[in-house]
Amino acid sequence: MPLDVISYLLAKKGYSLAEEAKKKPSAFYSVIVLKDAGVVWVEDADGNTIASGEAGVDDVAVIQSGINHIASLGGGILFLSANTFSFSDKVSINCDYISIIGAGRGKTVINGDPGADKPYFELVNDATTPRKYITIADFTIDGSDRPSAGTDFSAAIWDEGDGDISYLIIENMEIINSNTYAGCIQFENASGSLNNVLIRNCYLETVNSSCYGLAFRKPTTYAFIINNKIIMDDSGSYNNLALYQDISHAFVAGNILISSGGHTPLAVSPGSYVNIIGNIVKASTRSGEGGIEVEWKSGHGTETSHHVNVIGNVVRNGNWGIYITRRDTDQPFPYRVNIIGNVVENCAVGVYADGGTDIILSYNNVVNNTTPMSLSGLSNAIIEGNLGYANKNSGTATFSGDGTTTQFSIAHGLVSTPTNVQVTPKSADAAGDFYVTADDTYIYINYLSAPASGSDNVVLDWKAEV
């Protein structure tokens, strides 16, 4: 029986199909961390053991050995198998071109206590050693049983180096952290920088005070924060999502942020060229806080916030829903901020601003708030089409003169006394001399001589604006 082409070629080289089938498939990883029968070990793709130890005791050391091996290779994938690994210290990510990937959230679990004020994973960098092309994905960090004592910031995934990190991806992670000051993901050093960062599809939850969910406290350019759920369970917590230190060119979309009464869940403080689109926010009820903030604050950066879009978000149940402010006077108020098409409800103030230049506040739904909008100090602003906050209105009013009445009133329906009113006579009997006054409810047309008697003979077009 003649050989098929493949079998013929293999036979020429001394192989058979049966022998080829017995070969081990090529692994997608460079090293894999395994655990079984009280032993934890890391092996390479060929099954060679790199390091081993006692499970639950040496987990950190074994994982660190795997990372160090990848560093010696110049990069690769460390795969954390579907097991629970107990940490008693931190793991240092000290190389480039590395992916640390689990078998899935809830399948690969990191737990234990790395120690007070220590992270589970630290991104190691400094001024002479930048880092690039790092991915962390597809596992759970469960810090829910950590001791509550803590004295300094230290998130589960942590960076405090003064170097640069470029092309960082954190995705499909579940992180729960309970230590005071210990948030979920935090970048912390004004001297370094982050470039091209993607954080998506993560579940982040903190259950103690004085911590952040996801914090950019390091200058960042090009950040994409997409489809995450971030919950702060303590009223003494900081921001769910802190965009600090002059973050620029950031895209924040599709996130769910839930506050328990701490600081404002989504803070641009300060940032530039930031798009905040389609997020759902349960706001803070704390005085001076709210749902989404665009602000300047000393210590958070070097210049005020500018070129920020806040579009199509839903903000509920807080003090200020969406707001523009400055906490300190050493920089100008934010400028070129667009707040458009948001739904804000059940807040003390739907949209708040106490200053700002080149501001657009348009087509927001602020119906169900104690005060729909509280605006002051705005320069060169467009405010229009906001449902629940009528600051512009117009119409045609028709009256019947009786020869003695000299004052006619028109309900303007605006949020307060209009500052600009225009009244135009549209009938002959309405064309006499008059002057206009207004209050919170009405525009008053005051004739020097009463219009003539007639039916619907006093017709006036009017426009009013706060």
- State the Cα–Cα distance between residues 350 and 273, nearest whole angstrom: 24
- DSSP 3-state assignment of 302? coil
Strands 31-36 and 39-44: antiparallel
Sole residue written with tokens 């206590």: 113
pLDDT in tens, 150-195: 778 889 999 999 999 999 999 999 999 887 888 999 999 989 999 9
pLDDT for res 8: 45
For residue 218, pLDDT over 70 is answered with yes
Task: Tell me whether residue 295 is exposed, middle or buried, using C-beta atoms within 10 angstroms of its C-beta: 0 to 12, 13 to 18, 19 or more.
Answer: buried
pLDDT grade for 451, boundaries at 50, 70 and 90 = very high
Cis-peptide into 270, omega within 30 deg = yes
pLDDT over 90 (residue 225): yes
Q: Degrees (nearest 5) of the Cα angle 454, 456, 461?
A: 130
Q: Is the pTM of this model over 0.75?
A: yes
Taking 60 as the threshold, does the pLDDT of residue 14 lie above it?
no
Predicted confidence (pLDDT) at residue 363 exceeds the cutoff of 60: yes
Q: Which of 349, 329, 330, 327 is nearest to 339 (CA)?
A: 349
Domain-by-domain residue ranges, the chain?
31-328, 395-465
The SS3 of residue 70 is: helix
Percentage of the chain exceeding pLDDT 70 = 94
First to last CA, the chain: 94
Pick 456 or 190 by higher pLDDT. 456
* pLDDT for 20 beyond 90: no
Which is more confident, 1 or 144?
144
Task: Assign 144 a pLDDT band (cuts: 50, 70, 90).
Answer: confident
Residue with tokens 């002479």: 128
Mean pLDDT of the chain: 93
Residue 128: both structure tokens together: 């002479």
Radius of gyration of the CA atoms of the chain, in A: 31
Strands 98-102, 76-80: pairing kind: parallel
Element (H, E) at 10: helix 5-12
Q: Does the domain spanning 31-328 belong to CATH 3.40.50?
A: no
Cβ atoms 96, 132 nearer than 8 A:
yes
Report, as an integer, the average pLDDT of 318-344: 96
Q: Which residues contact 302 (CB under 8 A, 6 or more apart)?
A: 246
Q: What's the whole-number mean pLDDT along residues 56-70? A: 98
Contact assessment for residue 361 and residue 330, using Cβ atoms and an 8 Å cutoff? no
H-helix or E-strand spanning residue 67 = helix 59-73
Position 398 pLDDT exceeds 90: yes
pLDDT of res. 6? 44
E strand residue ranges, 55-130: 76-80, 84-87, 91-93, 98-102, 109-112, 121-123
> What is the pLDDT, as a whole number, of residue 3?
46
Q: pLDDT, tens digit, for every residue of 83-100?
A: 999 999 999 999 999 999
Torsion of Cα atoms, 277 then 281 then 284 then 290, to 10°: 30
Chain position carrying tokens 């506040």: 361
Phi, psi of 329 (to 5 degrees): -100, 10
Q: Give CA separation, 299 vs 190, 202, 244, 454, in Å.
A: 10, 28, 9, 69
Mean pLDDT for the stretch of residues 455-459 = 97
| 261 three-state secondary structure | coil
Q: Cβ distance 309 to 285 under 8 Å?
A: no
